[in-house]
Amino acid sequence: MKAVNQKQEHTNSYYAATVNETTDYSPLAGTEEADVCVVGGGFTGVATALTLAERGYSVAVVEANRVGWGASGRNGGQLINGINGLDKMRKKHGEGIADLLWELKWRGHEIIHERVERYGIDCDLKGGFVEAAVKPRQLASIEETAKEMQRRQFPYQYEIWDRDKTRAMLGTDAYVGGFVCQRDGHLHPLNLCIGEARAAHGLGVRIFEQSPAIRIEHGPRPKVRTADGSVQAEAVVLAGNAYSRLEHKRLNGLVFPAGSYIIGTEPLSEEVVAEINPLDVAVCDLNEIVDYYRLSADKRLLYGGNCNYSGRDPTDIKGYILPKLLKVYPQLRGVRIDYEWGGTMGIVLNRVLAVGRINRNVYYCQGYSGHGVNATHIMGEVLAEAIAGTLEKFDLFANMRRLRLPGSQWLGNQIIALGMLYYRLKDLL
């Protein structure tokens, strides 16, 4: 991974190649004042900025590269309910909090659907997501989810699939069953992120690209410094996730970078699409170390796999991911691969989102552990509410116990890699 102060353009992904509009916001030069300065122009940063702007705050966003340059513009585009840590919160606080957590875990979907509608964001948003069981023991979690939905009279379509239905709907023998939910779904993440940034800009948010923040000067009105300028604000939100090196002393050991990689095939014929994904759903298996895939709007198979926890990218992404794709879809042998790319996500040791404040007015939120399209939008709202003085939801996250690994990031990554080896073995059993 290159350091953030080397300003970069988008990676060579299917998303960058099919973007509706490119962004070219000027770099920060000189001094600016704002109510809130957000560092990082991914989903967390942009969603927070947009929520604040909708509520009348003046906001500046500084992004080291381009809007959506990080994980937000490169991910699998799977819109999946939930946030890492909610189950642990439920255990900690008991059933009294279950309804709030249930609402919270779907809130990102609502926000995204509302924004796509209100701001006319064309991001191929579609309903339909399948959790696919590779092993019979994985079926129990599917049944539990279905029971909870039944009990709560979940208003969207959902269904448990047996082995035959799963084979018919996904054109593969790889799974013993599945669970489809129409409220989850998939989208073009870079187009969503850029569209939300355009909406925020339209509401007065100043966006500065190619402007890595190099330090925060703390105080009653903290200042975010870049090489050529600064933003002074009442509050600062650190939204650089796995790519951020800011506030190393306070945040070191909380979040570790891990790579995930995707390949994009050539557009598939109508016959193949009808065989492997007639419902056009996103799919993620239920292993600990997941494979995930979906069709793009132009019917390419975008197939992704986790993960590299060592901090090193594979030299040959296609060589790493294609065998996984062919294991599920041997009938695609010989298909042309047009795109291959990867991105870095933030992993937290106990899979509880790392949310908090460095001091009264500098907030951070990072470590979605590969599950952030929906969750970043929830947290954008939670952060905006906290800045406005309503800390109820923010404190739920901030007060969770956080595991911090002592020592260097290298050591942390080795420990995470060992942990993942354990999970990989568990998947194989």
Ligand X SMILES: Cc1cc2nc3c(=O)[nH]c(=O)nc-3n(C[C@H](O)[C@H](O)[C@H](O)COP(=O)(O)OP(=O)(O)OC[C@H]3O[C@@H](n4cnc5c(N)ncnc54)[C@H](O)[C@@H]3O)c2cc1C
Residues that bind ligand X (CB under 6 A): 4, 39-45, 62-65, 69-72, 74-78, 80, 212-213, 239-244, 246, 260, 262, 292, 304, 342-345, 368, 370-374, 376
In terms of CB distance, is 243 or 394 closer to ligand X?
243
Shortest distance, position 231 Cβ to ligand X, whole Å: 11
Q: Which two tokens stand for residue 186?
A: 């998939």
Radius of gyration of the chain (CA): 21
Shortest distance, position 271 Cβ to ligand X, whole Å: 27
3-state SS assignment for residue 71? helix
In terms of CB distance, is 113 or 165 closer to ligand X?
113
CA distances from 270 to 136, 267, 380 (A): 32, 9, 39
Shortest distance, position 267 Cβ to ligand X, whole Å: 20
The DSSP code sequence of 342-384 is EEEEEEETTS--EEEEEETTEEEEE--TT--HHHHHHHHHHHH
Alpha carbon distance 355, 48 (integer Å): 14
In terms of CB distance, is 241 or 413 closer to ligand X?
241
In terms of CB distance, is 77 or 412 closer to ligand X?
77
In terms of CB distance, is 176 or 251 closer to ligand X?
251
What's 25's DSSP letter? P
Biggest CA–CA distance in the chain, Å, is 63
Shortest distance, position 162 Cβ to ligand X, whole Å: 26
In terms of CB distance, is 153 or 315 closer to ligand X?
315
Residues in the chain: 429
Shortest distance, position 289 Cβ to ligand X, whole Å: 13
Shortest distance, position 374 Cβ to ligand X, whole Å: 6
The DSSP code sequence of 111-164 is HHHHHHHHTT--S--EEEEEEEESSGGGHHHHHHHHHHHHHTT-SS-EEEE-HH
Shortest distance, position 95 Cβ to ligand X, whole Å: 27
Alpha carbon distance 85, 98 (integer Å): 13
In terms of CB distance, is 136 or 319 closer to ligand X?
319
- For ligand X, the nearest residue by Cβ is 372
How many C-beta atoms lie closer than 10 Å to residue 403's C-beta?
12
